[in-house]
Structure 1
Amino acid sequence: MTLRRLVLLLPILLLPGCSARDSAVAEDGRERLVGLRADDLRLCAGVPNLTANSAGGEFWTYDRSPPASGVSAPVPVIGGSLSVSAGSTCRVTFQLVDGKVTRIGYSAASDLPMSQNSACAPVVQGCLRLVEQGAVRPE
């Protein structure tokens, strides 16, 4: 394989790794953000797109559609081109009871394998960063 082809295929090979990392961040957020106060959640995740109240508590929903990144590289054997897209969408819903996060649910769609919930990472990353810095503490 020539160096040029390798350079063209490298982003295709890296996309699943980045998605897997982001998926792990989302799962980490599901565990480490339970107990976060409502004000701290608003500080790190922003104002939710939707809110709802029920007997189970408050529900804050964040919808994210990050810009898709894609790579197109020629594949000489097939004679066409190979396109890989990392486009995905995510809906994160936080359940709050007595002003604290009790559960986090993800509803995500991804075009890449092994990237379940990867598009949800940006919603929780800021909160995880503040938890790691000690600026906010889940109770």
Structure 2
Amino acid sequence: MRLAFAWLLPSALALGACSARDSAVAEDGRERLVGLRADDLRLCAGVPNLTAQSAGGEFWTYDRTPPAAGVSAPVPVIGGSLSVSAGSSCRVTFQLVDGKVTRIGYSAASDLPMSQNSACAPVVQGCLRLVDTNEVRRE
């Protein structure tokens, strides 16, 4: 039984560290993608799930629910299993004015503390990579 718990704790810590890193990537995107042109956003994030128009501009929304990551260890003494998982979902909304990103909002849910926006990272990660390699520019 100790063996099951010996690898469970490091696995849970690694899972939490990855989620915290992804949350930081999402927060980085909130700042660094402002000014991105609409065509470049579509290139790196894809076609949005929803679009809307208002007096405040155009809004593109991306919904993402990545597969849950987790660790499961059978505990035969108890007769069941012990698991630690990180289920999460994310909605990213980009506000565009005059064809450029002006704000990014996240609506995310996560089962892990300190990783609120971790599921949002895949939406902005590709765009950040293109900004970093100067393949797209912010204006």
TM superposition score normalised by structure 1: 0.91
Match for residue 27 of structure 1?
A: 27
CA distance, structure 1, for counterparts of residue 10 and residue 81 of structure 2:
15
CA distance, structure 2, for counterparts of residue 75 and residue 113 of structure 1:
25
Q: Could you give the per-residue CA deviations for residues 18-52 of structure 1, whole angstroms, max 9, x where no partner exists?
A: 00000000000000000000000000000000000
Q: Could you give the per-residue CA deviations for residues 57-83 of structure 1, whole angstroms, max 9, x where no partner exists?
A: 000000000011111125699785431
Equivalent residue runs for 1:47-126 within 5 Å:
47-74=47-74, 81-126=81-126
Partner amino acid, structure 1, of 2:135: A
Same amino acid, percent of matched pairs: 86
CA distance, structure 2, for counterparts of residue 76 and residue 10 of structure 1:
20
CA distance, structure 1, for counterparts of residue 44 and residue 105 of structure 2:
17
CA distance, structure 1, for counterparts of residue 5 and residue 109 of structure 2:
30
CA distance, structure 1, for counterparts of residue 24 and residue 54 of structure 2:
30
**Local SS of the residue matching 1:25:** helix
5+ unaligned residues in a row in structure 2: which ranges? none
TM superposition score normalised by structure 2: 0.91
- Quote how far apart the aligned CAs of 1:103 are: 0.1
CA distance, structure 1, for counterparts of residue 77 and residue 28 of structure 2:
41
Q: What is the Cα-based RMSD across aligned positions, in Å?
A: 2.0
5+ unaligned residues in a row in structure 1: which ranges? none
How many residue pairs are counted as aligned between the two chains? Answer: 139
